[in-house]
Amino acid sequence: MEPDLRKIFGRFRTEGTFLEGNSFGPGHIHDTFRILTAEKECDDYILQRLNSNVFTDIPRLQENMERVTTHLRDKISARDGGDVKRECLTLVPDRESGKSFITDEEGRYWRMFIFIRDHTSYERVDTHHKAFEGGRITGRFQAMLADLPGPPLHETIPDFHNIAWRLENLHQVLATDPAGRAESVSYETDEILRREEEMKIILRLVTKGLIPLRITHNDTKFNNILFDRQTDRALLIIDLDTVMPGYVHYDFGDAIRTAANRAEEDSEDLSLVSMDTEIFRAYAEGFLSEAGDTLNATEIEYLPFAPKLLTYIMATRFLTDYIDGDNYYKIKHPLHNLQRTRAQLTLLRDMEAQHNTMTQIIKAITK
Ligand code: ADP
Ligand code: GN1
Ligand code: MG
């Protein structure tokens, strides 16, 4: 059933009159709508019906979101020229309870943000400037959250980037083969399985105490960074649902996976998929300009490995979802998850070929 956006809008403490609501943005997880208000001087809004299959405890998720946005807001407003309306997300409370989410008659959860005015975002990155800016804003995000007070954030999706767990899931669907697709993807499956041990290296370094747990974003794909449409400066990173304890490699790796890929994440034409090491360099320069001082030698040493790991994790997740019968990601056609898997595996092979170049670049930046 189509949601009654006007009615849902009316339940939040908004300014302005509902003019129209439309589906918005490239997200794979929630149902996102942009709500335009009739008055020119009033903000527009983003309304999201949350995916509670993916996020099973929405109240806890929203608790994290409130803590994180409040902390960031305080830091940004303390900075000269900081613009809290455009440099961090603003949650709009429920009119009645003041909570940061509501439930509708079907028991579905909704939340609302102020729409970030005059922004743009990119699926692909074609200039050094954009890549540097993306790195800068993501590095700064991590640095700003380093002193978040209070207890650890909730793990909104436990083991989210734990590759050992992701591989267990793959083995499980291969064994049960619920959609009868396992045999048709034996090539892709082999590509994943022969790299299993190599990809657990970060987990082994963690066990040895060489890589510390930090607060990370965990979904730093480049289209989650919003840029100012006029100046092309990065404003902020959005999609804070997975902000929780993690390792620096998760944020650095996922950003490179998306920014430095010359093609789209799900490119059908695999000949277009490759890794642009100049974009890697620019992003790394931006990221390390903000977060570099906090990282230890092992974290830095393994930064060139991070893009491979995150590309591998996504390939594993897309393949698992395909074999499972497409229950997790939104898909646009029946082979979409397989197409995503193939594009990620192609990117992974190119990253492997260019690993030495990435290592040299990180050495040059951090020497
Ligand atoms: P998903 O987890 O489904 O990716 P996001 O939180 O990333 O959901 O939101 C989906 C899209 O909605 C984003 O890619 C962006 O285009 C848009 N969006 C989300 N929040 C805002 C906001 N506060 N202002 C402007 N656009 C937003
Ligand atoms: C999802 O929410 P969105 O569309 O930015 C996913 C990420 C994947 C990404 C792949 C909560 O991100 O982990 O990297 O798709 N988010 C969740 O495009 O699973
Ligand atoms: Mg998103």
pLDDT per position as a tens digit, 98-135: 999 999 999 999 999 999 999 999 999 999 999 999 99
Check if 122 has its Cβ closer than 6 Å to any atom of ligand 1: no
The pLDDT value recorded for residue 141 is 98
- CATH number of the domain within which 81 lies: 3.30.200.20
Return the residue matching tokens 């939340």: 111
- Which of these, 265, 48, 29, lies nearest to 157 by C-alpha position? 29
What's the pTM value of the predicted model, to 2 decimals? 0.96
The pLDDT value recorded for residue 2 is 84
Do 134 and 10 belong together in one domain? no
Check if 16 has its Cβ closer than 6 Å to any atom of ligand 1: no
- CATH number of the domain within which 316 lies: 3.90.1200.10
Would you say residue 138 has pLDDT above 80? yes
Residue 356 lies in a domain: yes
Give the residue from 77, 95, 117 where a domain finishes: 117
Check if 156 has its Cβ closer than 6 Å to any atom of ligand 2: no
Contact status, residue 135 vs residue 255, Cβ threshold 8 Å: yes
Residue numbers of the domain that contains 97: 5-117
- What is the spatial distance between Cα 263 and Cα 120, in angstroms, rounded to a whole number? 19
Residue 123 lies in a domain: no
Give the residue from 71, 95, 117 where a domain finishes: 117
- Test site for ligand 2: of 24, 28, 327, most ligand atoms within 8 A of the Cβ: 28
- Which of these, 46, 50, 41, lies nearest to 9 by C-alpha position? 46
Tell how far the Cα of 26 is from the centroid of ligand 3, in angstroms.
Answer: 7
Give the residue from 91, 117, 143 where a domain finishes: 117
Check if 103 has its Cβ closer than 6 Å to any atom of ligand 1: no
Question: How many distinct structural domains can be found in the chain?
Answer: 2
Residue 344 lies in a domain: yes
Do 355 and 253 belong together in one domain? yes
Structure tokens at 167: 């591989």
Atom of ligand 2 nearest to the CA of 223: 5
Do 157 and 285 belong together in one domain? yes
Alpha helices for 79-159 (secondary structure H) = 84-87, 128-145
Contact status, residue 220 vs residue 121, Cβ threshold 8 Å: no
Check if 318 has its Cβ closer than 6 Å to any atom of ligand 1: no
The pLDDT value recorded for residue 271 is 98
Residue 93 lies in a domain: yes
pLDDT per position as a tens digit, 6-30: 999 999 999 999 999 999 998 889 9
Do 70 and 137 belong together in one domain? no
Do 100 and 159 belong together in one domain? no
Q: What is the DSSP code (8-state) at residue 123? A: S
Residue 328 lies in a domain: yes
Do 111 and 134 belong together in one domain? no
Q: Which residues pair with 112 in a beta bridge?
A: 47
Residue 122 lies in a domain: no
Do 201 and 326 belong together in one domain? yes
- What is the spatial distance between Cα 121 and Cα 235, in angstroms, rounded to a whole number? 10
